[in-house]
């Protein structure tokens, strides 16, 4: 049975070293198997201790993204990148007076 493709954008195959960072100082090594502007697939030694949300660091790509786990299996994670929260500029938010 062929599984239907559910990704929003096409991912590009890659094999790059990465780090899963959480709780300010904790890290777990991973390997980025594929990457897109909206997410990635990561190889991990095991699932133990990996939270549902973390920061992915890929030095080779100069990538630092907050992520959420979408799916898990014993040695892989599917993640989506979380949009950066923009704080409104207080000056721009003020009503303009003529």
Position with higher pLDDT, 44 vs 63: 44
Helix, strand counts (H, E) of the chain: 1, 6
Domains with residue ranges and CATH for the chain: 12-81 (2.40.10.220)
Lowest mean pLDDT among 19-28, 64-73, 82-91: 82-91
Q: How confident is the model at residue 53 (pLDDT cuts 50, 70, 90)?
A: very high
Tens digit of each residue's pLDDT (9 = 90 or more) over 58-76: 988 788 999 999 999 999 9
The confidence band for 13, taking pLDDT boundaries of 50, 70 and 90, is: confident
φ/ψ of residue 49, rounded to 5: 85, -5
- Would the pTM of this model clear 0.75, i.e. be above it? no
Residue 86 exposure: Cα atoms within 13 Å on the Cβ side: 6
């Amino acid at each position: 049975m062929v599984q239907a493709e559910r990704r929003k954008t096409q991912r590009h195959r890659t094999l790059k070293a990465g780090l899963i960072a959480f709780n300010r100082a904790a890290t777990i090594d991973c390997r980025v198997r594929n990457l897109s502007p909206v997410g990635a697939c990561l190889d991990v030694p095991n699932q133990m201790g990996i939270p549902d949300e973390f920061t992915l660091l890929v030095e080779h790509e100069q990538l630092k993204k907050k992520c959420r786990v979408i799916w898990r299996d014993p040695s892989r994670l599917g993640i989506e990148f979380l949009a950066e929260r923009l704080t409104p500029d207080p000056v721009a938010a003020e009503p303009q007076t003529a």
